[in-house]
Structure 1
């Protein structure tokens, strides 16, 4: 029995586990009786870890069998219906866990975090085709690449450096060892250049690509007949790639997470459905971020600045009226845009809030269309940045910027227009305004 010696004798193995391993060895050697096959089937149904071990040993067994000289006598195999039944059972059980296990070597991945009890943190799995139907999942590959998945996601792993995203949203955090990691989609071929980036495959096959750190190259998908050049995206850039290899700016990216953004698909009942502006330029691809229901102390107000966060003023509570609002992360650099026109599209009646740097004059469009709530917020801490030039650090050595909070009642679905952050001639060392919708 060619497998039995390899399966038996593990240090620290419990008697019950030894019996299971002996049963698997007998089955793979073709020596199991009908009663033993039925017992194995029962054990596989009841034990997830045993199913994984069975599949692992079955793969090894298949590889060894392929190399055996056919002239060497071997034990008569168990009836085909029993072998097929147990293999089908184990495979079906694996599919129920959200993973399609294929014969041969898959890509080794460790479960780092999961919102589902079906994925246990610390598990190491060999993945070929993955179908995550609900929840979120974080996987670590052997080359240091960390993948964040937001269901529903379907993807196929070719090897540790390449995967295909067939549907859904996947964010990749690529370390030095994983440089060059590639995600393929039906409409795009995205190559990492040392970065954190996300892809979202839409129902029509188009692909949104967003870069949170570093840069990536976006090409046509493998096998495409198009001849356009690759596009390089940098941190804060996003594009939508169509099935015709047309690449255009994608101005709004829905995200989740605070320390590092994770691309997330919009729910059917999304309140904010779009953000657009009048900023033009062939190479301008910066995106606004949308964090749904995320307004609370510590959330990021800007799409491209990771350090400043929204806070209450010292000694005060965070304004309850703002809690749970959708947060639109603006570009810090837009504080210089004196002709800015920004459109926020909403699906139903709501309140739109604008947070203004309290050091600045209030723009005419704010005084005309918005009402001062009397609420106040703070953002920080700020690093060495022109926004806080001339400001003095507080007792803890940090610099924070105070904001006034203005609101507008939007009575129905439609667009709300926001203008430039400051009147012409106002000081340049001011923060860009923040936006929240509730």
Structure 2
């Protein structure tokens, strides 16, 4: 994300800007149409939450707030006109910036119904995207007997990043994982357009979606209809004639009939285990008998196995690790250290150790944010000479998840000296989205330090080999055998005995979900070294898998 856009969104989220910087950014909002459009797109997810939390049905309350009698002209022009109308003297720049943000929020809400002014959509498939790239909104994580419609593009395979654009499925079932954590299953025949990270238009087909906390407002549009998630799992069937049926399996959703201009004719809430039919031509929504078998089934899939080549463990041991843990299945939850006289990890609060023979995996299930692996002792990272942390890890979805947390013993657990994590799609943080992050920090604190973000996104439901290490020259992050980023570190090489936890940011409860960041997925073959690894050693270990794609 470019610095101007980052600063503008930061100010919108409550950050401070001096008057000169505010004036500079607002001039660009006025003068740069592409920048203005990008700001509106980035702010769209933030506006959705405010809209769906209204006490009234979403579309009805927005009609009153926005006014549908606005001129039929490009959205960005209307935003700019509103800015100019509100422009105050220079001494009120801070208030003006807030007004600009409010106008953008209101304008974006209109987009959820009528869509953006037409423009050629980017290609749906392409090369693995850079982390934080706005062009990628989802990843195809599963395709069951999928037969695709005619297209001039190659059909996407499992693991393919998807941008906005059309999706045509002749038969079979596919599952998309959006960068905000939303899971969308599609049963063919189906025709839909992926319009943004939180909006899909379905011309026909069967869809089922599950929306995690924080992604409320995900919207599926149909010909003359809209279903807005309010924290749910729901399914939608859209027929060729535009009629539709929706069933909520958990939570609630708002169901609306729209006229040809995209305005709301009627709107009703649909709550758990109930169903509604939508007839846009008649302008009618009515109750129907809920028949789950008529809708798309919930997608279920298991994590692919991690099958390592013979000799992998011997190779790790030959590099003289300080500690090495292989997650053999044990009823007592103890993960012994392969290095004699070094501490074990203990699985707590439901972490499952799964596997047979010499090795296994630690499984972190959904809905259990208290799950964690805790080192039964301390490790003193040699920050002057360097160290390395190596592991295999899989996340079932895009989600902000702490993988390894290292904090000096005896101080609060959120004051880290090292943190390795997956980032997600966040409204509160300006981190690169859906990337892998390494933080080195000394002295330990809740802020500051040197960040390294991977240059590419991680892929849900895929095993990744990670090495996070500190050298005398700085910190390095390797992803699947490739150097993904590096950063210089400060001159202070102090250290202390540290506790280490896996799968969570810190031990204990916290009211702020950002201070928990639980992993939902699997982890295996964790090793810690009192020295950095060479690029050749890292490449060799990353290439040692026979894991299924």
TM-score (norm 1): 0.34
Greater length-normalized contact order (CA 8 Å, ≥ 6 residues apart): 2
Rg comparison, structure with higher value: 1
TM-score (norm 2): 0.27
